[in-house]
Amino acid sequence: MKFKQIILAAGFISALGATATSNAETRTLYVGMNGGSMEKNYTSYIFPDFEKANNVKIVVVPGTSADIMAKMSAQKDKPQMHLVFLDDGVMYRAVGMGLCQKLKEAPVFKEIYPFARMANDQAVGIELGTVGIGYNKKMFDEKGWAAPTSWMDFADPKYKGKVVFQSIQSSTFGLHSFLMFNRLVGGTDKNVEPGFQKWGSTVGPNVLEYLSSSAKISEMVQTGETAIFPLTPTAIANLKAKGIPAEFATPKEGAVMLMVGACALKNNSEPELSQKLAEYLLSAGSQAKAMEYANAIPINKNVKIPESVQAKIGNIDKLMKNINTVDWDVINKERAAWNDRWSRMIER
């Protein structure tokens, strides 16, 4: 074989090898998570480093926690997603249904708050949040109203037709807020009778609309349709970043803890890569980016929270002071019955 032919042949073989290697290394991970700003922030700022380091493409499957949960259940025998983000209450349901694979012990687990290790490591919290009261700052200023101070403010007659409330059937924000109202009128997480009985004569008359998600709130604040609504400091910070006049108030009775958790699906086609992505999401670098670009409260204790960030999402110590938690074991056992009752009595 002539020298020129040898060189061409070698180049052809090398190109084939490179193509084969490229094809072998290029994998796709499907991640279920909320769409909108959360999807945009993660795909723009957080996922790219992992994709580059691991020669992988991350494709987001957008939806609410309830939407993603429904897909997980339908695809239980052959999951189409690899890792999902779910609100903590829905996450515990997913774990209870056997949909999550247990994460392996990793050094980064020692860097996160202990409460972020969920359900014997079958899931892990990646964002910390609190549910409190969001309000329309422009409307409050124009009417000379003081900022909300209590969960019972949703029942204040001056907000008649100006309260927007998320449905407990699809929203953790709505569920948390209803349970806090229920406690204030004499109920407990095991006994929601007082809340259901008194809603119609207190908060109910003030509600303009029950939302399936919080996406519409930004529009309703801008159009002046709503005065107050349940929301998180992170969501409020994202609204303010868009120039929407919203503010967050921590009720005197305390806000409610809300975590966004990550779960690698059992029997997914990329178990090791799913584990690796979960570890990456918990790393100080990833958590710092989520804090910077998505206004997320870090789960990793090693992330320093500058004053500029606390100016947007609030003082972390104050946010976590007098924090309320809910009993997800009780809630998930009764959730279907509550949803049915909510549909019949409140959103009818």
- Give the start-end residues of each E strand in the chain: 27-33, 56-62, 83-87, 117-118, 123-136, 163-166, 207-211, 228-231, 246-249, 256-264
One domain for residues 268 and 251: no
Domain of residue 157, residue span:
129-257+323-345
Rounded Cα distance between 181 and 144, Å, is 25
One domain for residues 109 and 182: no
**Are the CB atoms for 26 and 56 separated by under 8 Å?**
yes
3-state helix, strand, coil in the chain (%, to 5): 50, 20, 30
Q: What is the pLDDT of residue 5?
A: 52
Helix H segments across 151-266?
172-184, 193-199, 217-222, 233-241
Closest CA to 319 of 238, 217, 236, 241: 236
Burial class (CB in 10 A: 0-12, 13-18, 19+), 22: exposed
One domain for residues 340 and 235: yes
One domain for residues 205 and 194: yes
Q: What is the pLDDT of residue 107?
A: 97
One domain for residues 138 and 185: yes
Per-residue pLDDT of the chain (348 residues; tens, 9 = 90+): 444 454 444 454 444 444 444 445 789 999 999 888 889 999 999 999 999 999 999 999 999 888 999 999 999 999 999 999 998 989 999 999 999 999 999 999 999 999 899 999 999 999 988 999 999 999 999 999 999 999 999 999 999 999 999 999 888 899 999 999 999 999 999 999 999 999 999 999 999 999 988 889 999 999 999 999 999 988 898 899 899 999 999 999 999 999 999 999 999 999 999 999 999 999 999 999 999 888 888 999 999 988 888 877 777 777 777 889 999 989 999 999 999 999 999 987
Give exposure, 305-323, as e/b (b: 16+ Cβ within 10 Å). Answer: eeeebbebbbebeebeeee
| Total structural domains within the chain | 2
Q: What is the pLDDT of residue 11?
A: 52
Q: What is the pLDDT of residue 36?
A: 82
CA 76 distance to own-chain centroid: 22
CATH number at residue 146: 3.40.190.10
Q: What is the pLDDT of residue 24?
A: 56
One domain for residues 93 and 164: no
Phi, psi for residue 259 in degrees, rounded to 5: -115, 145
Q: What is the pLDDT of residue 20?
A: 44
Q: What is the pLDDT of residue 213?
A: 81
Rounded Cα distance between 124 and 118, Å, is 5
Using CA atoms, how far residue 259 sits from 126, 191, 193, in Å, is 7, 24, 27
Q: What is the pLDDT of residue 321?
A: 74
Q: What is the pLDDT of residue 12?
A: 47
Q: What is the pLDDT of residue 317?
A: 74
One domain for residues 134 and 241: yes
One domain for residues 153 and 53: no
Rounded Cα distance between 209 and 207, Å, is 6
* 207-211 and 163-166 strand pairing: parallel
One domain for residues 226 and 265: no
Q: What is the pLDDT of residue 132?
A: 95
One domain for residues 9 and 91: yes
One domain for residues 253 and 297: no
One domain for residues 139 and 88: no
